[in-house]
Structure 1
């Protein structure tokens, strides 16, 4: 998790430092050149900072006028599924506003936590939050479900806010989760197979490639429950890595939306093709030492050549196994032009 904090004045810089101390992950402070103290990044134009950093960070905190934040980020907004979380605080730290990506980006939750730590009043205006109602994007994020068609978020939320019926469905593996949500938000969502078409709009957890939608207007949620292990020759490009993974998934009738983590050996930690693919899929990239991979339990496709090169007899299967928490093997080692791919199902407590 990478956060940048932007301040324009000395009081703002002091608050920025306090916020940084109370924010998890990697935090970098950018201060206007008139108030920099030599310990932070200095800038003359905030527009240049945002141009360089907007797509490279997960969260942004502006300390200053909300209008400045709105104007400077406006040209870079793409989608609620990709934009970073953005907060705005006044220089005195009295108020903290959740400005962008409240649910999927986590701005609302971050706002509430950071406001408490700073002694500020959180300002959250998302209707489902202020009225304590079900939010499908928040539900998806909490339970590691990828939203396939985010354009439907507005339809679902609008119906719930207008007290219109919305259905929920999924296979037996997720029925308990759906029933818990129904119980938590009575009268707002209802678990159903929709056999009689009583619900026009609904939420459906989909796990299979050709799974039939049961609602006329369906927001599709896909569990991000697959770990993909990758081994490759040095220098393989993003295009080559992606093609190998997509081909493997197509051959085994798997949804690529189910990818939840990419894994490999630590000697591939700086392999740009794999790093870029993980970023493209918006999932973490985890690497493991040969000794740790060797300790994984299970049956693996061994290679004496790989053993001699990497110190372990298999990279893709063992790394996928490690990243899945010892889950079920779905696809064994599959070779594709100098790249090997394996797929494991992540154990539920590891998701």
Structure 2
């Protein structure tokens, strides 16, 4: 009978195209075979490979965490439960490799109970299966059912919640009262509203369940960069600061000063308008800066007051627009002398309407040349000597 039960499980888990099995399957399998007494010949590693579908290397690593298992009785029940949810063999293998202890969970008392609770909250069987795959460790905790409504309210939708869970599944079994809510209270004290807190936590999920001291340090770092609490850019600065160390942030600021020839005051001005500069790579900043200084002729102070231009694509926006406007100037087709920032800050539609379309007759190849320049090919008309 044990052999029959193992064959059933292996066949089910090895058939990704199979339709989801009704959830009570684990009860049928349990009823089909009596309780299995400890089997001294039961090899956990072989079970992980032969029944769960792990590679030998994965099984070797996972087996150390479940070496106490003496029979396949409990893991068989868990596998039947997962199959009943509709997980494929590949899904199950990935889950077990991620969280081997899931095979030791109680099906009736914990897993099935959580499914029932989540179903009552309105989640479909497919929703629950995705949740199990993303956060198997949290699914072994009963707190997942009581915590989920809070997170659904915070993020507005189940899809948004899944995006947060993927990099930080531990939030589902973190204490709401002792950890999550106090952390969010700190963000509210910084002047952030519910919508901004939600968006920030989606970008930096660790804000939800990190130590309060670490959140306070982030806030202090953001303020130290010259962006006051309550300002419109404060949440953006918190995102840029993230969980980087003070040493890393100091190095980032130092790089901005050296690359862009900014003073401390100019760095503060730039970061208050474009805090995302803190996450830009050194090479990216260097390439943009060299172009803006050497070809466009901008001064460091001007860039500090208009730092958004450093976020624009060098090849797809900064260069082609500069060359198109310079062509118009040299051919006497512009009556005004627009600032470079107004040129690159305009939307693509607005730029084309203002600087390309009006000159179709006087410069019939301008539109074609501009498109080529946006694709990284510099046309002859845009080469100036």
TM-score for both structures, normalised by structure 1: 0.26
* Greater relative contact order structure (CA < 8 Å, 6+ sep): 1
Higher-strand-fraction structure: 1
TM-score for both structures, normalised by structure 2: 0.25
Larger Rg: 2
Higher-helix-fraction structure: 2
